[in-house]
Chains A and B, each alone.
Chain A
Amino acid sequence: MWNIVDRLARLDRRWIFLLMLAAVAIPILFELQFDETPTQQARAVFDEIERLNPGDPVLLAFDYDPASEGELSPMASSFVLHCASRKLKMYFLSLFPVGPQMIEENIQKVILPDFPELVYGEDYVNLGYKPGYEGVVKVIMTDLRQLYTTDSRGTNIDQIPMCQGIDNVQDMKLIVNVSAGYPGVKEWVQYAVTPFPDKVKMVAGVTGVQAPFIYPYIPRQLRGMLGAIKGAAEYETLVTSTYIEGTPREIYQEGVRRMGPQSVAHLLMIGLILAGNSLFLLQKWQRKL
């Protein structure tokens, strides 16, 4: 028996890699899905957007890139779907260099096919990327035009109908941030919400790694937070069940779909931790004998 224990303890890590591959691939191939029950955090985010009136301006800051797209794009799509369904005015921007592509992708996948009646410049606008990290947040909180003189297409901001009357981000009824790290939700909380606690409200969607560090800001500085794919799946369920009759398009089921492989991968991790520790204890016992 001790021989087996030793061999397992020295198991080539490529076997573990193979297990992880199977744990992710099989649920994808067999389209394994689980029902999601929205938690209090997902409800808080949903309710915050529900409280807004049609026509209210909302800032959608998509601070993520392709590296974290797998984790964040489902919630970004759900945010756009929710805002468009509520007929809110959407102002997109990004503090990530490749953020504008993420914004454009959501415009292409959500707004153009499902909300063709929305007009660029009147119902939504892509202000694009600006370098400067939290410096950008600090400036646009008091003067949007100091940094954003044009939108991402090069159109003068004063010639964009929905930008007339918007002097700074304090004019937004809500900030929705999808964040992959720095600069992201922490910077928006520190430089946008904290200096203007009575004027600025914010909700966010973050990666799983970030989530524990963002909890201290809830609920006063951050009204609600979606943590990783699980948060996205819960919020997606709330939005689609409220605004879509029948079966939603695939893009609006991405959160739930991606929860399948993630859940199995988590179970594998739990199994590996248990197995690793069992072997560790057995070896310890073996040394005592």
Chain B
Amino acid sequence: MKRTVPLLIAAICGFVLIITAFIPATVTWGETATVWFDVLAAIAFILGGGNLLKVHLRKVSDRAAGWAYSLITVVTFLLTLGVGLLKWGVPPGSDQEFFGYSFASLSVADLPEELTFRLPVDLPGDLAAGTLPASVRRQLRMTFAENDSQRLGTLEFHGWMTSSQKSDLLGFHDLLDWKCAVEQLAERSAPPASLAGKVSYFAEHEALAISGTLPEATEQELRAISATQPWTAAVTELARLARAPTSRTLQYIPSGLQVPSSREDSLKLQGQTLTVIGPMTPEMRAELTDVFPRVRPLAEQEIERFVADMGDTLSEDQQNLLRGMLGSLWNAEQLITVLNDAGKSQPVKKTYCELRAEQLAGVDDLSPTRDSSEPDTQLNAAQVEALTAAVMNPEVNLRTLGSVLSELGPWIPAQESALQKFRQRLPTIGQRNRTLVAALTLGDGQLPRATLDLLLAPYREEHLWNNEVFALYEAAHRVKYAWSGGYLQDGSPFWWSYEYAFKPLTATMFALLAFYVASAAFRAFRAKNLEAFLLLATAFIILLGRTPTGVWLTSGLPDSLSILRIENMTAFILSVINTAGNRAIMIGIALGIVSTSLKILLGGDRSYLGSGD
């Protein structure tokens, strides 16, 4: 039995793979067999680890020759396994952690009836036979019509549908009726407007989730949805998590820092202490770090003043470079173009229900978009003049420029959004100065310490503040999956052992080959007979052909003798003689593999099963 089971596994897998290689219809059998092979291979890794411990521990125990090496092997194996599996010092994975959210456990089965949304439909019954996307499988139910078993009568969705679930469902089938039904169902199963964007239900994580803090009014609204015990418990848990404060005593605070008015319920700054209520959302973090002025275009006098502030520490080349860089930051025309582009009316994407209505009305050529009824919004002369003056004025904050422009003429949300995006893409003064330092010190460029400090001071302040905010962001985070971080994350013990032990050791072992090959070339590579001489001559040509010297040695040969150029001889040997020889060997090996495989699969050769000890 001990030998029959592995024999059967080998035989079945082998024959399945042979069959699938010749019969395309059975390809999936091969995939399944290979996946099973992978499962077995994973178990083999565990057995391999066990075997390593057994062999080396015995050697250590017996004080056999080389037992100290065995001890090192065992210790490093256990150490690597430990830091790899336990993920010491690894923060949770950012892409699985839902930063800014608090989770309260709530299974799909425990969702209250009030969160079950039904949509009467008339859809083909075939849809029920398809495999639903994994993200909605636990929440969507299709019910056949009472009077027609071939048609779907109701779609039922448990919980609030997320945008990615809607997208997955839209991609489930191309039928317009289906896509329209999904749109309607998504509309029905959206959270109330007052909760939208704040509260979510993640079925894959079986969690009711809230972003940021939980205001009293939102909590009452959530409690009003249902009075079931699991729901109430989940809301209570959310309130607890989302209202827990996290404080940090700041070592550095940017001058004039104020908590944005929209964040006053979740952020409090008292003296040197910054407190966040609940987890800090990525948006909140971005807002907090976006407090440093962005670069603006500089007038010529300002550029000259900047260069003069550097004193006589810059060479003429450096001064010219500085002038060039400061003069080419950006200009008002670029921003005007961006805002005018954003003001152009865009085609409006039709909903699938609109497309379906058009289809029912007999429209043959369905277009996914329609022209916007809104006219283009372009900046008027007063706005252009105000903008041009504002960007040159250091007193004007670009963040609030939109409100100034909106008083002077038409101003639409798309332009406001474009203005803020444009502003966020601009470097801060610190970032600009850092780039200047990098450019000025490129190559042989030097800057005195005092100039460096002067230029880099704003960047250092920004760096300090960003670190403060990030530390609070991490401290306020509610960990969901503690072990979700990658074990190779920079700075983790596993990464350290890889970077500073495994990598240099393996590279060193490989590099040692060069020394042994050199020694062998001198001592063993001798032309003792004709075969050895041929081998030697071939190696000589190939080695020489891989060096520029070899190519140079024969470069003087005329074209009629070009075959004798070393690089051509190398190519000829590799692509003709070597290929012919290798093909013969490979065909021989292939025939050998066929016969050996058949012997193994039919049980004629059982040596791979071991001695049975």
Contact = CB atoms under 8 A, between A and B. Distances in A.
Interface of B: 21, 27-28, 30-31, 34-35, 37-38, 41-42, 45, 93, 95-96, 133-134, 164, 168, 484, 486, 488, 498, 502-504, 506-507, 509-511, 514-515, 517-519, 521-523, 525-528, 536, 539-540, 543-544, 546-549, 551, 567, 571, 574-575, 578-579, 582-583, 586
A255 interface: no
23 contacts: A16-B522, A20-B518, A21-B515, A66-B502, A67-B506, A67-B510, A69-B503, A131-B45, A136-B38, A153-B93, A154-B93, A154-B484, A155-B95, A158-B134, A212-B574, A215-B575, A215-B582, A216-B579, A216-B582, A228-B546, A265-B518, A270-B544, A277-B526
Contacts of B527: 277, 280
B356 to A, nearest CB: 24
B279 to A, nearest CB: 21
Given A66-B507, A154-B484, A39 B518 contact: no
A154 B484 CA distance: 9
A86 to B, nearest CB: 26
Contacts of B567: 39
B575 A65 contact: no
B518 A19 contact: yes
Nearest to A100: B488
Contacts of A155: 95
A98 B42 CA distance: 16
Contacts of B539: 273
Contacts of A101: 488, 498
A268 interface: yes
A159 B571 contact: no
A20 B526 contact: no
Contacts of A272: 518, 521-522
Interface string A211-232: 1110110100000000010100
Given A16-B519, A272-B518, 9 more contacts: A16-B518, A21-B515, A66-B502, A104-B488, A132-B37, A139-B34, A215-B582, A263-B546, A277-B536
Contacts of B21: 195
Contact of A230 (B514, B546, B549): B546
9 A-B pairs with least C-beta separation: A34-B548, A66-B503, A67-B506, A67-B510, A272-B522, A263-B547, A135-B34, A132-B38, A276-B522
Contacts of B38: 130-132, 135-136, 147
Given A39-B567, A213-B582, A20 B96 contact: no
Interface in A91-105: 98, 100-101, 104
Given A67-B509, A230-B546, A146 B586 contact: no
Given A270-B540, A273-B521, A218 B498 contact: no
Interface in A9-57: 11, 13, 16-17, 19-21, 24, 34-35, 37, 39-40
A142 interface: yes
A65 B506 contact: yes
Interface in A56-78: 65-70
A65 B582 CA distance: 26
A66 B548 CA distance: 27
Given A13-B519, A66-B507, A263 B35 contact: no
B548 A273 contact: no
Nearest to B133: A158
B579 A215 contact: yes
Nearest to B488: A101
Interface string A246-263: 000000000000010011
B495 to A, nearest CB: 9
Contacts of B511: 70
A267 interface: yes
Contacts of B536: 273, 277
B522 A270 contact: no
A244 interface: no
B506 A143 contact: no
B446 to A, nearest CB: 20
B384 to A, nearest CB: 30
Contact of A20 (B41, B134, B164, B514): B514
Nearest to A212: B578
A269 interface: yes
Contacts of A87: none
B416 to A, nearest CB: 25
A126 B571 CA distance: 36
A266 B544 CA distance: 7
Given A159-B164, A276-B523, A135 B37 contact: yes
A275 interface: yes
B518 A269 contact: yes
A100 B45 CA distance: 19
A276 B168 CA distance: 71
A130 B498 CA distance: 19
A158 B539 CA distance: 51
Contacts of A216: 579, 582-583, 586
Contacts of B515: 16-17, 20-21
A33 to B, nearest CB: 10
A276 B507 contact: no
Contact of A211 (B488, B547, B574): B574
Given A216-B586, A267-B549, A98 B498 contact: yes
Given A66-B507, A67-B506, A143-B31, A273 B525 contact: yes
Contacts of B575: 215, 218
Contact of B95 (A154, A213, A277): A154
B135 to A, nearest CB: 8
Which residue, A19, A152, A273, has most C-beta atoms of chain B within 10 A?
A273
A281 B438 CA distance: 61
A132 B41 contact: yes
Contacts of B27: 142
Contacts of A138: 30-31, 34
B31 A266 contact: no
Given A101-B498, A213-B582, A215-B582, A267 B507 contact: no
Contacts of B549: 263, 267
Contact of B547 (A68, A100, A266): A266
B44 to A, nearest CB: 9
Nearest to B204: A156
A104 B45 CA distance: 24
A246 to B, nearest CB: 12
A131 B41 contact: yes
B34 A132 contact: yes
Interface in A146-165: 146-147, 152-156, 158-159
A281 B300 CA distance: 80
Nearest to B539: A273
Contacts of A215: 574-575, 578-579, 582
A154 B489 CA distance: 13
B518 A268 contact: yes
Nearest to A10: B523
Contacts of B551: 37
A132 B503 CA distance: 23
Nearest to B39: A132
B502 to A, nearest CB: 7
B526 A276 contact: yes
Contacts of B133: 158
A139 B35 contact: yes
Contacts of B498: 98, 101
